[in-house]
Amino acid sequence: MKKPAESRHESEFDMINYKKNTIKQLLLTVLVFCCIGCQNVFHQKNSFGFDGTTLTVNSPNGKIKVEIRADANDQLTWSFQRQGKPVLAAAPLGLIVDGNNLGQSVTLGTPRTRTIDEQYPTWGNHSVAVNHCNEAVIPVECTGGMKYELDVRAFDDGAAVRTRVALDDSTHTIAGEVTSWSLPTDSSAWWARYDNSYERPCQSGTFGTIPANTSLAPPVTFQLDDELYVSITEANNDCFPDMGLVRNGAFLKAVFPASSRGWRHQDSIVTPWRVAIIAEGLNALVNSDIVTNLCPPPSDELANADWIKPGRSLWQWWGIGAPRLNDQKEWVDAAKKLGFEYYLIDDGWRNWRAPGKDQWQCLKEVIDYAKTQGVEPLVWVNSSEMRTDSSRRAYLEKVAALGAAGIKIDFIPACTAEITRWYEGVLKDTAELHLLCNFHGAVKLTGRQRTWPNELTREAVRGHEYHMSRYRRVQAADHDEIVLFTRYIAGPADYTPTAFDLREMVGYTWAHLLAQAVDMTSPLLHFAGKYHDFIGNPAEDLLRHLPSTWDETIVLPGSEIGKIAGFARRRGQEWYIGVLNGAESATMQIDLSFLGSGTWKAEVFGDDPDNAANFKRESKSVTASDSLTISMNPRGGAVVWITKD
């Protein structure tokens, strides 16, 4: 009878020990969380500083520091440091509203602060974007007692500011901004002059050689030392005119070429973000998510929309001009044979006629046939047919009713505030009607493709239409190797790459033209060339497999703006390397250490030194410990397709 009592006492003893251990664990847990809380408080205190006249915001890793203060003339300024060293000197901030410069005679109030840390899916250079920054919202009072708030965000690879002014719902006048960035005079610079469609050629020099008082098209990129790059642009523009940039003395200043005399604005003001990406190396520059990070996420419905699908498209305008009704089935069949997801019916379908059928009925027949073949049709339109809210909605409803998957809208007017709101209206309408959207003859992206993911791509680039001998157009040899590090920093561009027509190569090699399709980011990837030149081409097997979006992108060592651009890009378990070469013969050594374990098969499409219209194709077995030596012709290149052996 003693055993049960002992067992009972042992159980009670075990329970007492269990309770004691539980209390100890709880105390340890509380202690750990207290320590973490203390660390977070310490981190918060070290992330922000404010002494009544100067606000400092540090990036989460502490490398970037942005400082907001008033200078000796009471002008609001911002400046940047990286790892304790000056990067961009103090430059003016300010918005001119109803005749008041909001950056003058300022008094700063106590800021509110927070840390943003999130990830979200994205399409383009990688599949997951990281948004990690410290934010300060600082109340400001300026001349005449006018009050507003300045938002400041510091990322590990740059910083941004915007102005928010609470106003009544009457109409106000915005004369422009004094917002500027200060660059070292001797920093290397790459830019293009501003035009309404962002199709001017790329140029290079130093900051001091940029023509003064000449509007430039953002992003403009600078190299401050061997591995430090700065790119200047804007983000989240949904109501302002498109921002250009002008060198004004030691500053790069925000200007508005389409509204140089100012514009009218109703109700409160929220400016777009003014952005400086500060990247350690070209890989960090290309992979920066700052521009989309500064934009709102999509609605849940759009975030989960199964009809928004990246893919590749055949496109006949570059190859043959206006589409001909009687050969549309051949183009659709070719898209199907190549495994392309889309086919674009471009300008010219408006002139189609058949007995008893107008252009819309003819278009419907082509759309219906494409869908029976598993190819999604896209339709071109001139924006002049849909400028008002009502005409736009009616036109888009008609296209959606025909069964098209998307719309390409061309020839868009200069981007005033009104036209920016028109862009937003188009994106809203197309999202509601389940249409993909692609703007041509347009201004740059500002990250709003995060908010409206149905905009998979946008032109706003001097693309492949400038590789056309029949129009006497020859792209500069350094263009492709510059534009990847300027315009593409703003987001995807519909460059319409890759054409193997012997008459239209204008000095480039097949390997260079093939590498364009790897390097020129566009989740909706339109190929310029004729299908006749793709089917049966030595690279047809590669074209069948080539993705339009990537899980990972690495800018290869040896890349140099204006000379060589080498990207290694992963989709799933496959890697694609695209190398674009400029004016001089070159050799690139490619370290394959980014590959995983095991043996891989590398299919190399290189330059044939004796024939630009041919590949030097080789198959090699490689591992992560190997490297590849790529020799390239002037205006040449290479593509390497790497699969698990």
464-514, pLDDT tens digit by residue?
A: 999 877 777 789 999 999 999 999 999 999 999 999 999 888 899 999 999
pLDDT for res 89: 98
pLDDT for res 473: 78
Percent with pLDDT over 70 in the chain = 93
Mean pLDDT of 413-441: 98
Closest of 184, 303, 202, 326 to residue 252, by C-alpha? 184
Are the C-beta atoms of residues 464 and 495 closer than 8 Å to each other? Answer: yes
Mean pLDDT of 599-611: 98
Q: What is the per-residue pLDDT across 531-569, written as a single tens digit (0 to 9) for each?
A: 999 999 999 999 999 999 999 999 999 999 999 999 999
pLDDT for res 503: 87
pLDDT for res 45: 55
Task: Provide the 3-class DSSP secondary structure of residue 388.
Answer: coil
* Domain regions of the chain by residue span: 1-46, 51-293
User: In this model, does residue 304 exceed pLDDT 60?
Assistant: yes
pLDDT for res 14: 38
> pTM of the full predicted structure?
0.92
Closest of 460, 568, 476 to residue 522, by C-alpha? 460
The CATH number of 51-293 is: 2.70.98.10
| pLDDT tier at 22, thresholds 50, 70, 90 | very low
pLDDT for res 15: 36
Q: What is the per-residue pLDDT across 249-292, written as a single tens digit (0 to 9) for each?
A: 999 999 999 999 999 999 999 999 999 999 999 999 999 999 99
Mean pLDDT across the chain: 93
Question: How would you list the strands of the sheet with 263-266, edge to edge?
Answer: 100-101, 95-97, 171-177, 263-266
Those residues whose C-beta lies under 8 Å from the C-beta of residue 418, and which sit 6 or more positions away, are none
pLDDT for res 506: 87
pLDDT for res 189: 98
Closest of 321, 83, 326 to residue 224, by C-alpha? 83
Q: What is the per-residue pLDDT across 130-187, written as a single tens digit (0 to 9) for each?
A: 999 999 999 999 978 899 999 999 999 999 999 999 999 999 999 999 999 999 999 9
Size of the chain, expressed as the number of residues it contains: 645
